[in-house]
Structure 1
């Protein structure tokens, strides 16, 4: 953990410069994260230079908010905590690791593009389900036979081909 040797001086300095400070509860509410996760990120070194008051309260600032925004983005897009940690370690020594950071981001970008493609394929399937179950609902209302899944899409395909439309 990053404890300041003179927390009061840092807090007082922040107040003098009108830099906003935040409690763990405020940050927790802002990011909808449990306080234990913020402490964990601090223990891992993802959140650095967190000021601790004499009573042990944590004081966060805008740099922590900015860092958490990055962490949350990386997490939402599937980057592991280990890789997030590696990214920030590389960033601390950017001169030696610019290529490593660039390659990590290129790889992650490709992973995200692959995820998007998979999600788009899944969305097509979900949309087919929506259309099918709307047709089932309609058939029930009209007291007609419920269409079979494969029959429904064979009929849909034939209709589209007859209308000059392609799937």
Structure 2
């Protein structure tokens, strides 16, 4: 079964212009086209697209994704290099998650602080300047 760009866009909730951009950048290798030039996405293409979006949404730069794609095109002998790229990316994602968790603690502290100030204001009726 093949899907049109519009169907892929709706199914995966990806704007069509993003799909065209990723194809132009070489991130979607070998998208077939009909005789009329209409893109025809296979299930395998959708699987690949899901990986590309996963990598992009977790912060991998387009240049690095392109490197990964190029290695994939060269076949199984590039599995070790692709695995290295994914392991480095995983470490980067884990570091960003750890950093975000630390920042979330600060945000939660401020929410608590502001909530308690708000309650104190509501009870006393006094105008207070919130701490920043």
TM-score per shorter chain, which class?
A: 0.7 to 0.9
For the pair shown, which has the larger CA radius of gyration, 1 or 2? 1
Separation in structure 2 between the aligned mates of residue 82 and residue 108 of structure 1, nearest angstrom: 13
Q: Tell me, yes or no, if the aligned pair for 1:136 and 1:147 is still in contact at 8 Å.
A: no
1:101-140 alignment to 2 at 5 Å?
101-140=82-121
1:31-110 alignment to 2 at 5 Å?
31-110=12-91
Separation in structure 2 between the aligned mates of residue 148 and residue 51 of structure 1, nearest angstrom: 59
Q: CA deviation at 1:55?
A: 2.4
Separation in structure 2 between the aligned mates of residue 70 and residue 28 of structure 1, nearest angstrom: 15
Under a length normalisation based on structure 2, what TM-score does the superposition of the two structures give? 0.87
Separation in structure 1 between the aligned mates of residue 47 and residue 106 of structure 2, nearest angstrom: 37
Q: 1:62-98, CA deviations, whole angstroms, 9 ceiling, x for partnerless residues?
A: 0111011101110111001111111121122244423
Question: Where in structure 1 do 4 or more consecutive aligned residues deviate above 6 Å?
Answer: none
Q: CA deviation at 1:125?
A: 0.7
Aligned length: 131
Separation in structure 1 between the aligned mates of residue 97 and residue 66 of structure 2, nearest angstrom: 24
Under a length normalisation based on structure 1, what TM-score does the superposition of the two structures give? 0.70
Gaps of 5+ in 1: 1-19, 151-167
TM-align CA RMSD: 2.0
Q: 1:11-50, CA deviations, whole angstroms, 9 ceiling, x for partnerless residues?
A: xxxxxxxxx2111001111222222221222222221222
